[in-house]
Amino acid sequence: NAGVMQNPRHLVRRRGQEARLRCSPMKGHSHVYWYRQLPEEGLKFMVYLQKENIIDESGMPKERFSAEFPKEGPSILRIQQVVRGDSAAYFCASSPPFRGPYNEQFFGPGTRLTVL
Amino acid sequence: AQSVAQPEDQVNVAEGNPLTVKCTYSVSGNPYLFWYVQYPNRGLQFLLKYITGDNLVKGSYGFEAEFNKSQTSFHLKKPSALVSDSALYFCAVRLLSGNTGKLIFGQGTTLQVKP
């Protein structure tokens, strides 16, 4: 059973370009979470999605960032017009259908975004 | 505000000695607590969780954690450290507001185990 897959593992963009990060959850998992880890910091929640629905986007910056989890295919985190401050590791996690607090989240290896 | 604190940026122990990585939390309602470990350039791996029941929780790789409600702590422990335990450790609390299950992480503690 493959784990959470993220690609690319490393992404380099110049300021002003767009970054697209992909996440394929574990088989049978219908819940996806995105977290951002800035250098020397812990992980910060960004967004929680189910298939075709954004459930909680309270951690998403108001501008330039968007996320989706379509009916078919991976979840996408999209960053438009990237700036140097967007340089970070972006982690995706997945969990089975929500049943209260019992489900731990399974994390992917992350995408390390570098903005030049 | 709900939060998690890891008061030590780094913990150093000698191989074979017991280790403790500290975590305190502040939540309203019942706390659901987790420990994860991160190796360099890797994602987070789940170690253990406290949901309810016994205050001493056993997890992967010989780790355990003790939930202390009066001290609002959830310290990670291991009786005998290995060099391979050297990594970054995160404590997290799960928020159950509405239908969300997002994790709030502490800032992380680097564990260095020396031979």
Task: Tell me the three state secondary structure of residue A34.
Answer: strand
Rounded to whole angstroms, how far apart are CA atoms B101 and A77? 19
Q: How much of chain A, in percent, has pLDDT values that exceed 70?
A: 95
Q: Which residue has the higher pLDDT, A104 or A25?
A: A25
- Is the CA virtual torsion B4, B7, B11, B16 positive or negative? negative
Residues of A with CB under 8 A from a CB of B: 4, 6, 31, 33, 35, 41-45, 48, 55-56, 59, 91, 93, 95, 98, 100-110, 112
Mean per-residue pLDDT over chain A, rounded: 91
Which of A95, A101, A110 is opposite residue B96, by nearest beta carbon?
A101
Give me the amino acid identity at A70: P
Q: Which residue has the higher pLDDT, B40 or A79?
A: A79
Q: Which residue has the higher pLDDT, B9 or A101?
A: B9
- Is the CA virtual torsion B110, B6, A105, B63 positive or negative? positive
Neighbours of A50 (CB within 10 A): 14
Which residues does residue B78 pair with via DSSP β-bridges, in sequence order? B19
pLDDT digits (tens, 9 = 90+) for B28-80: 877 889 999 999 878 899 999 998 888 999 999 999 999 999 999 999 999 99
pLDDT tops 90 at residue B99: no
